[in-house]
Structure 1
Amino acid sequence: MAAVTGSLSPEALGELLRDARENAKLTQAAAAQALNVARTTLVAIEQGQRRARLEELQKLAALYRVSLNVLLRQGSAKVDLRPRFRRAGEGDAEVEEAVALLNSLVQAELELENLLGIQRARNDPPERPLLPGNVLLQAEQDASELRQWLGLGMAPVHDMVSLLEVQLGARVFVRQLPARISGLYAFDEVAGACILLNALHPRDRRTQTGAHETGHFISTRRAPDALYADSPEASREERYANAFARCFLTPARAVAARFQDVTAGAARLTRRHIIILAHAFGVSREAMVRRLEELGLTKSGTWDWFKEHGGITDEQAREVLGDAIPPDPAKTDAARQVSMRMSLLASEAWRRGLLSEGQLARLLHIDRVEAREMIDDFEAEGAVDDESPILLA
């Protein structure tokens, strides 16, 4: 029978076969004997020097106690976001590393979902391509429409990441990046919207970046974006995304109403006013003041005045807000080698025998020791046994 053809190279096919054999705890000699071939033949297959034939693959799948489809993982969605970023940050090594990280995270999540039979719910919002004319007015209108579409009204957005993940079905990853990189965005027909945010940035800045990338999701959906220090800001697309973020997070009418309420009876704008307003809308103090200036609620140059007179510090914010400052669990999760959600998916795939430790290590770009530690943690903290509660379909 003719050799199996397909998208898998002999090397990739050999690697899958080797991982499946190791997962089944069989030696090369035992597998070769069951296949009725010399051990050197099996070694050549696993090294990609000889492609296995269909009948051999069927026998190996039965021997390793996995389906042929799982063995080959041909059904896995293949996504490569990297070529889309060639013009965004081209030649910038740190941006290219961030792009590679986003690509590996999306690939790993897709493959794990595919193996576990998970169908991720997506809710792509209506697309609003940029039109001729004032992009700032378009951004304000589109931000208002998205708020209404999501049922937010004028309410503040207290968790931008959850909004993106739960309500829009976007793939959002919060990982540690170089300080100068705020975030990345790309869209793929299979994976959907994919966003990477910098865990080293304060939560309010990540919120702003997430809203900025949402602006690209709305307007220039299939064009990737890399937001980093010194990145181009003069294009209509970037001006739109920046304006969209401001309008989405701090709607004009809501800001005006809250501003009137907070400053009632006051003769001057104080740091306390700014701290309370920024906290109410989940944005930075600078972003809040800039928005007040833009809306004509305070005179132009107000933020510069505060900067020249000591700024508005984190310590001052803590004195005003105290325990009202929310925790930032994303920072803690980002300090892990593998995110909590990804480790749960990976550990479940291992528990079902769909992936070996070696496959997990390669998929998640960690070493075998770290893969073993992740599995041990899963078993210790969330072990599944016959007495565990059953999930309802």
Structure 2
Amino acid sequence: MNTVLDSQNPAELGDRLRHARTQAGLTQAQAATALQVARTTLVALEKGQRRVRADELKAMADIYGASVGSLLRESAVHVELSPRFRALNEKDDEDAHRAARLLNDLTAAELELERLTGRKLKANYPPERPILPGDVKEQAEDLAMELRHRLGLGLAPIGDIVTLLEVEIGMRVFVRPLDPKISGLFIYDDEAGACMLLNRNHPRERRAMTAAHEFGHLVSSRRQPDILDDCSPQSREEKFATAFGLSFMAPAPTVRRLFQEYRQESGRFSPRHLILMAHSLNMSQEGMCRRLEDLKLLPAGTWESLRDRGFSGELVRQILGDRPRDNDMVVPPRLWMLAAEAYSEELLTEGQLAQLLRLDRPELRRILDMLGSSDDHDLESLALE
């Protein structure tokens, strides 16, 4: 390792060490104590004023929860999104901090894979539209319809909003298990662009609503980071994002048409119709019900009444014949491609990819095998073989 260390630029390595320490949530004093060195020694190492010894590097990797390889890898990208999130005060629990650090790490991983493969993400963000005085919901509705037409969606349902945001808008979208009370996180950074983390533990339909909500932040208040949880205060920005998400997923003309068709069919609008409408628009039942309430097609408070009477996700699955899908991919489509390409071209090892993407190796192997990264075919010529 000494030979490898001798070839390292001390200043660049020191910067990677500093980043790893801050990502571990340690101050210089805390890290120095854990390493059993003077704080001035740690300062010199992080500034590149003294070369790191092999035993010091190994100790830092252990204490910071990083791998020696990631600290030495010159291609590694380091971004610091977490400190820019909405201020997390002492009352905020560690789950929110952990989710913010995860989004930071996943964003850095994707940037590194882009650098290695030469496939930079192309951003196609709509112009930011400041929230004006007046009715927030009306502004959200108008902008949602405008963007639907710009994206060529018209009044049709959105089948996969994650792919839409990745491919058409150029957002970085990640899906990982989070604390149940956290729905998602959003951050905009000048270097990394728009980044989003969704809770894999939530049903697919709820994740879709969260993604639409965070898209609302991108188009209205992108420089105000957001951690969406069940206790989020309803600021003007939050109200806009919520209204935008509902309008974007369920345009008013489509909702009104379906509602009237179901009512005409049986003379009333029942919970069964609510389930079918939500399913057809790829929305959660709560989101669908609240959209109907907003459009005054159902009385205010309908959702709370349904919930109090035992209306649940399990009931919905029984009616639709659905079953929870435990094998949802934790790596979005674009990140699959970058990871598979880096692996097939031997730019990163399986172990390095697992560390980079914060996956265990069996899960990573399953993804790589599914993508055929070790035996890629040219589909255009496959039939000629």
Compute the TM-score of the two structures, normalised by the length of structure 2: 0.73
Give the match's secondary structure for 2:274.
Answer: helix
Return closer, same or farther for 1:226/1:273 CA change in 2, 3 Å cut-off.
same
Distance 2:187 2:358 in 1: 21
Distance 1:376 1:228 in 2: 31
Give the match's secondary structure for 2:188.
Answer: strand
Aligned to 1:152: 153
Distance 1:164 1:312 in 2: 29
Give the match's secondary structure for 1:196.
Answer: strand
Give the match's secondary structure for 1:178.
Answer: coil
Aligned to 2:286: 286
- Does the 8 Å contact 2:123/2:169 carry over to 1? yes
Distance 1:256 1:133 in 2: 25
- Does the 8 Å contact 2:106/2:356 carry over to 1? no
Aligned to 1:354: 347
Return closer, same or farther for 1:147/1:88 CA change in 2, 3 Å cut-off.
farther
- Percent identity over the alignment? 44
1:299 matched to 2:299? The reply is: yes
Where do residues 182-261 of structure 1 align in structure 2 (5 Å cutoff)?
182-233=183-234, 235-261=235-261
Q: Which amino acid aligns with 1:119?
A: K
Distance 2:203 2:370 in 1: 32
Return closer, same or farther for 1:318/1:348 CA change in 2, 3 Å cut-off.
same
Q: Which amino acid aligns with 2:307?
A: K
Return closer, same or farther for 1:360/1:302 CA change in 2, 3 Å cut-off.
closer
- Does the 8 Å contact 2:144/2:248 carry over to 1? yes
Return closer, same or farther for 1:226/1:377 CA change in 2, 3 Å cut-off.
closer
* Rg larger for: 1
Where do residues 17-56 of structure 1 align in structure 2 (5 Å cutoff)?
47=54
Shift of 1:289: 1.9
Where do residues 269-348 of structure 1 align in structure 2 (5 Å cutoff)?
269-311=269-311, 314-319=314-319, 321-322=320-321, 328=325, 332-334=328-330, 342=335, 345-346=338-339, 348=341
Q: Which amino acid aligns with 2:378?
A: P
Q: Deviations over 1:332-389 (max 9, x none)?
A: 323xxx77764653454344343356644553456xxx5599569847972546x953
Distance 2:211 2:114 in 1: 24
Return closer, same or farther for 1:302/1:382 CA change in 2, 3 Å cut-off.
closer
Distance 2:54 2:318 in 1: 59
Return closer, same or farther for 1:326/1:149 CA change in 2, 3 Å cut-off.
farther
- Does the 8 Å contact 1:271/1:312 carry over to 2? no
Aligned to 1:162: 163
Q: Which amino acid aligns with 1:149?
A: R
- Does the 8 Å contact 1:11/1:47 carry over to 2? no
1:8 matched to 2:12? The reply is: yes
Return closer, same or farther for 1:46/1:109 CA change in 2, 3 Å cut-off.
farther
Aligned to 2:372: 382
- Does the 8 Å contact 2:141/2:244 carry over to 1? yes
- Does the 8 Å contact 1:12/1:48 carry over to 2? no
Distance 1:171 1:380 in 2: 22
Q: Which amino acid aligns with 1:176?
A: P
Aligned to 1:82: 82
Q: Which amino acid aligns with 1:349?
A: A
Distance 2:371 2:280 in 1: 36
- Does the 8 Å contact 2:340/2:371 carry over to 1? no
Q: Which amino acid aligns with 1:333?
A: M
Q: Which amino acid aligns with 2:184?
A: G
Bigger drift between 89-98 and 187-196 goes to: 89-98
- Does the 8 Å contact 1:197/1:209 carry over to 2? yes
Compute the TM-score of the two structures, normalised by the length of structure 1: 0.72
- Does the 8 Å contact 1:11/1:46 carry over to 2? no
Q: Which amino acid aligns with 1:363?
A: L
Where do residues 109-148 of structure 1 align in structure 2 (5 Å cutoff)?
109-148=110-149
- Does the 8 Å contact 1:89/1:231 carry over to 2? no
Return closer, same or farther for 1:361/1:252 CA change in 2, 3 Å cut-off.
closer
Return closer, same or farther for 1:142/1:372 CA change in 2, 3 Å cut-off.
closer
Q: Deviations over 1:185-208 (max 9, x none)?
A: 011223221110001111111111
Give the match's secondary structure for 2:179.
Answer: coil
Shift of 1:231: 2.1
Residue segments in structure 2 that go unaligned for 5+ positions in a row: 1-6, 18-50, 57-71
Distance 2:307 2:355 in 1: 48
Q: Which amino acid aligns with 2:134?
A: G
Distance 1:246 1:180 in 2: 20
Distance 1:232 1:352 in 2: 47
Residue segments in structure 1 that go unaligned for 5+ positions in a row: 14-43, 50-69
Shift of 1:298: 2.3
Distance 2:110 2:212 in 1: 23
Distance 1:173 1:99 in 2: 12
Q: Deviations over 1:151-203 (max 9, x none)?
A: 11111112111111111111111111111110000112232211100011111
Distance 1:316 1:347 in 2: 37
Shift of 1:126: 1.9
Shift of 1:270: 1.2
Give the match's secondary structure for 1:9.
Answer: helix
Distance 2:284 2:371 in 1: 37
Q: Which amino acid aligns with 2:187?
A: A
